[in-house]
Amino acid sequence: MSSYTGGRAGLTGAERTIEADSWRIGETTLTSRFFLGTGLFPNPYVQMEAIEASGAEVLTFAIRRVNLDAAEDDSILQHLQGHSFIYLPNTSGARTADEAVRIARLSRASGLSDWIKVEISANERTLLPDPIETLKATEILVKEGFTVLPYISDDPVICKRLEEAGAAAVMPGAAPIGTGLGLLNPYNIGLIVEESTVPVIVDAGLGTASDVTKAMELGVSGVLMNTPVAKSKDPVRMAEAMKHAITAGRLAYLSGRMAKKRYASASSGLDSFKLQ
Amino acid sequence: MKQRILVMGGGVIGLASAFELAGRGYEVTVLEAGRCGGQASGAAAGMLAPYSENLESPDDFFQLCRASLELYPEWQRRVRQVSACGFEYTASGSLYAVCHEADMLALESRRLWQREHGSSAEILEGDRLFAAEAQLSRQVRAALWTPEESHVYAPDYVKALEQGCRRLGVQIEEDLGGIRLGDLDERIEAAAADGRFFTGDQLVIAAGAWAGEWSGLLGIRIPVRPIRGQICAYRAEGSDPPLRHMVFSSQGYLVQKEGGTLVCGASEDMAGFDTSVTERGIDRLIHWNKKMIPALEGRKPFHRWAGLRPATQDGAPLIGRLQGHPRVLLAVGHYRNGILLSPVTAKLTADCIDGRALPAWCAAFRPERFGPV
């Protein structure tokens, strides 16, 4: 992991580790582990600065909000012209698999991306994902050749089923969308990571940098966020904080944490100094 | 003796504050580098639309917008009466139009929370929708109808405020060019480039997109930046039925003014303090708006213009007294909502000058919240 990448004098070992620590979704190699949502920012200036500070390579947005006939004219996407981001459009607002599939097809037909975040909610108060409809939509869209990243509840069984259906990654929520409650069930996220053979991306519900670090320490491949960045007092600085939090959690995960102990222990054990 | 208040900035926020302060018996001078209402204020489409501008949740900024909408009926009556100037104020209501089935969930969430905050919004679809607004494209799937929203004709409203200020004895000093501030502690001293010199007991900075210039002097971060907003307008054609509501969408808005002019906004971009209009900025409006109102197909706008919207780092304005300089107040950073927020900002500013504490929820607008320089 920490092999020297060459030609980059002045990098610390940890920086080299992060630089060499790329990962893949489908056929695409990614360096950043930060997926950033483009909604809710106070204005386009702050949005662009925050995207820059985040180092994100993948940006997500709701297809229903986009002007699909002319993406280059869209009120949000117009500001991203001239950059080389990977777009992860989402089907937010869909209430059934059929709706999500229709939205995904519209998105691909517009030439935006063949990546799709399946997001299907049946309840306007919690916006929690409907697992059955999500699985159905994933099956259909995988067959149609999409790179499918479903947003799903933090349930290891449904995550496995989505993987078997051909999802390119699974994206369990930390907590309901926009709540900022943080990682409500780290045990489940840990299990999902253990059992998954595709990348696990924690999507939704994170609130601040420590939530992100905790998620990354569990071994997830990345995190997807929007509200905790866009709705902070300083979205640009928060984007950078989140970037560092991802790095910290990732390095801690790669390093392997010490075992937890019940009592204090001296680093040189007392027993070894006792005369027999 | 009357306290003397200097208001720096003759835009809608400065003029509204001066109007309110003069009404409360202060001796007010407005200092304007150029002409009153010459920047964002005169360029605004004048929509009073807290519900259509705040889609997500009832946060403090929404509350400020809503509070200002509630002040409007009485406020505009007073401005009209004092100034003896007329300006359009139309209780049109608004339609927030959506084109995807997937928008229905978000529209319904919005209807639910906004109805708990003073809106009587309903979702209109099909025949009801097109009966309410005949010109709308049949591609529009549904719209959230908010009867409470209204609009003013901003250039006339700002002129009326200016005239109202003069009638209340406010001294308005225009074309000052650069203004330098001297002492801020014993009293307020301001010097214009041409040598004119002004003093006052307190200072209200209402400098819009230019507010950041005072950051160094005041010792605080004022993260206000200009976002250019480009707008275009069409002349009415005899055959068109009038657009009865303001129409919003994720891509822009349309509003018809008295006399039939149809205003379409806005393309936002970052171009520093440049207020020129670009082909690209106007073309994206022209491409989009004919999909909302098919009658606009093939028509050319007769007027195009741009204004600089003072945008802040967290989206909320800076309103209130500085602890570090107790004679100085800020009223800046109103972004897309300066016309709407003018009465509430004037009231809060005058309350501060009166020595009253602002309500607790106004902490979200504290001018020192971004920390020292």
- According to CATH, the topology of domain A33-255 is TIM Barrel (3.20.20)
Contact B314 A233 (CB under 8 A): yes
pLDDT of residue A268: 64
Residue B85 falls inside a structural domain:
no
Tokens at A243, concatenated: 């970037």
**Would the pLDDT of B329 be above 70?**
yes
**Residue A270 confidence class, pLDDT cut points 50, 70, 90:** low
Of the candidates B6, B36, B11, B10, the residue with the CA atom closest to the CA atom of residue B309: B11
pLDDT of residue B236: 84
Report helix, strand or coil for A69. Answer: helix
CA gap B340, B41 in Å, rounded: 11
pLDDT of residue A272: 67
The angle at the Cα of A221, spanning A218 to A224, to the nearest 5 degrees, equals 100
Q: Could you tell me the residue range of the domain that residue B71 belongs to? A: 4-76+154-223+313-365
Q: Helix (H) and strand (E) counts for chain A?
A: 9, 10
pLDDT of residue A266: 67
Q: Which residues contact B16 (CB under 8 A, 6 or more apart)?
A: B161, B342, B343, B345, B346
Of the candidates B223, B198, B269, B263, the residue with the CA atom closest to the CA atom of residue B368: B223
Residue B311 contacts A, CB cutoff 8 Å: yes
Interface mutation vs chain B, best among A68, A90, A99, A124, most B CBs within 10 Å: A124
Tokens at A208, concatenated: 């601040």
Residue B306 falls inside a structural domain:
yes
Tokens at A112, concatenated: 């935006």
**Residue A84 confidence class, pLDDT cut points 50, 70, 90:** confident
Report the catalytic residues of A: 117
Q: What is the mean pLDDT of residues A241-265?
A: 93
**Residue A19 confidence class, pLDDT cut points 50, 70, 90:** confident
Residue B130 contacts A, CB cutoff 8 Å: no
Residue B370 falls inside a structural domain:
no
**Residues B120-172: pLDDT tens digits?**
999 999 999 999 999 999 999 999 999 999 999 999 999 999 999 999 999 99
Determine the angle formed by the axes of helices B338-353 and B154-167, rounding to 10 degrees. Answer: 20
CB A64 within 8 A of CB A92: yes
**Residues B11-63: pLDDT tens digits?**
999 999 999 999 999 999 999 999 998 888 888 899 999 999 998 889 999 99
Give burial (CB, 10 Å; 0-12/13-18/19+) of B171: middle
Q: Which residues of A77-89 are buried (b: 16+ CB within 10 A; e: fewer)?
A: bbbbeeeeebbbb
Are B242 and B359 contained in the same domain?
no
Strand pairing report for A222-225 and A34-37: parallel
**A residues 170-209 lying closer than 8 A (beta carbon) to B:** 178
CB A152 within 8 A of CB A129: yes
Domain ranges of chain A: 33-255
Name the residue with higher pLDDT: A2 or B259: B259
| Residues on chain B touching A234 (C-beta within 8 angstroms) | 313-314, 370
pLDDT of residue A58: 95
Are B139 and B230 contained in the same domain?
yes
Are B60 and B203 contained in the same domain?
yes
Q: Which residues contact B324 (CB under 8 A, 6 or more apart)?
A: B218, B219, B220, B368
| Residues on chain B touching A74 (C-beta within 8 angstroms) | 251
With CA atoms as reference, the chain A residue closest to B55 would be A40
* Percent of chain B at pLDDT exceeding 90: 89
Q: What is the mean pLDDT of residues B232-240?
A: 86
Number of domains in chain B: 2
pTM of the entire predicted model: 0.91
Q: What is the mean pLDDT of residues A190-210?
A: 96
Beta strands in chain A (DSSP E): 23-25, 28-30, 34-37, 58-62, 86-90, 115-118, 147-152, 171-172, 201-203, 222-225
Residue B82 falls inside a structural domain:
no
Rounded to 10 degrees, what is the CA torsion of B99, B102, B106, B112?
A: 90
**Would the pLDDT of B259 be above 90?**
no
In sign, the C-alpha dihedral spanning B18, B20, B22, B27 is negative
CA gap B60, B79 in Å, rounded: 27
Residue B251 falls inside a structural domain:
yes
Residue B371 falls inside a structural domain:
no
* Percent of chain A at pLDDT exceeding 90: 72
Contact A73 B227 (CB under 8 A): no
Residue B278 falls inside a structural domain:
yes
Are B190 and B277 contained in the same domain?
no
| CATH (domain of B33) | 3.50.50.60
Q: What is the mean pLDDT of residues A218-245?
A: 96
Q: What is the mean pLDDT of residues B198-226?
A: 96
Are B193 and B294 contained in the same domain?
no
Are B14 and B136 contained in the same domain?
no
CA gap B274, B308 in Å, rounded: 8
**Residue A126 confidence class, pLDDT cut points 50, 70, 90:** confident
| Residues on chain B touching A91 (C-beta within 8 angstroms) | 102
Are B62 and B122 contained in the same domain?
no
CA gap B43, B40 in Å, rounded: 5
Contact A93 B100 (CB under 8 A): yes
**Residues A50-71: pLDDT tens digits?**
999 999 999 999 988 888 888 8
Residue B83 falls inside a structural domain:
no
| Residues on chain B touching A43 (C-beta within 8 angstroms) | 225, 227, 268, 309, 311, 315, 335
Render B274-330 in DSSP notation, one character per residue.
-----HHHHHHHHHHHHHH-GGGTT---SEEEEEEEEEETTS--EEEE-SSSTTEEE
**Residues B78-133: pLDDT tens digits?**
999 999 999 999 999 999 999 988 899 889 989 999 999 999 999 999 999 999 99
Interface mutation vs chain B, best among A68, A75, A110, A227, most B CBs within 10 Å: A75
At residue A150, φ and ψ (nearest 5 deg) are -80, 135
